[in-house]
């Protein structure tokens, strides 16, 4: 069974731009969670989607948003990029959200 895939793997953007990241979960998994990982803050939860509905949201500004499609694929968007948004963005899928999560390889975002 194929794992979680994320595209693109690397991105370089400038301040003020916006970015969209994509995640395809493991086949059959309906829950997708997004995390931001930085050396100083560790893994920070962004949001979780299940059956196209956002069920949980972390403590991030409204510039961070996401959505999930009917095939469980998910996207997250960051608008008006700031230097502090430079991080590894990880997507994780789970069968229901209460079961174990499996991570994708991540998208490394650099904001200059």
Partner 1 sequence: QKEVEQNSGPLSVPEGAIASLNCTYSDRGSQSFFWYRQYSGKSPELIMFIYSNGDKEDGRFTAQLNKASQYVSLLIRDSQPSDSATYLCARGTGNQFYFGTGTSLTVIP
When the beta carbons of 100 and 112 are compared against partner 1, the nearer one is 100
Binding to partner 1 (CB under 8 A) within 7-36 occurs at 31, 33, 35
Task: Tell which one of 10, 84, 100, 112 touches partner 1 (CB under 8 A).
Answer: 100
Dist. CA 60–CA 44, nearest whole Å: 9
CA angle 55/23/78 to nearest 5° reads 75
> Which of 54, 53, 50, 57 shows the shortest CA–CA distance to 36?
57
The site that binds partner 1 (CB under 8 A) totals a number of residues, namely 24
Question: 83 to each of 5, 74, 79, 109, how far by Cα in Å?
Answer: 25, 24, 12, 10
- Identify the residue among 19, 46, 90, 111 touching partner 1 (CB under 8 A): 90
Among 19, 48, 78, 111, binds partner 1 (CB under 8 A): 48
Residue ranges binding partner 1 (CB under 8 A): 31, 33, 35, 42-43, 45, 48, 50, 55-56, 88, 90, 92, 96-106
């Amino acid at each position: 069974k194929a794992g979680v895939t994320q595209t693109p793997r690397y991105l370089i953007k400038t301040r003020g731009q916006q970015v969209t990241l994509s995640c395809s979960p493991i086949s059959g998994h309906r829950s997708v969670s997004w995390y931001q990982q930085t050396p100083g803050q560790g893994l920070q939860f962004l949001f979780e989607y299940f059956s196209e509905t956002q069920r949980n949201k972390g403590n991030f500004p409204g510039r961070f948003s996401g959505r999930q499609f009917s095939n469980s694929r998910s996207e997250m968007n960051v608008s008006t990029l700031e230097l502090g948004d430079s991080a590894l963005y990880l997507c994780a899928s789970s069968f229901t959200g209460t079961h174990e999560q499996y991570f994708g390889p991540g998208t490394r975002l650099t904001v200059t």
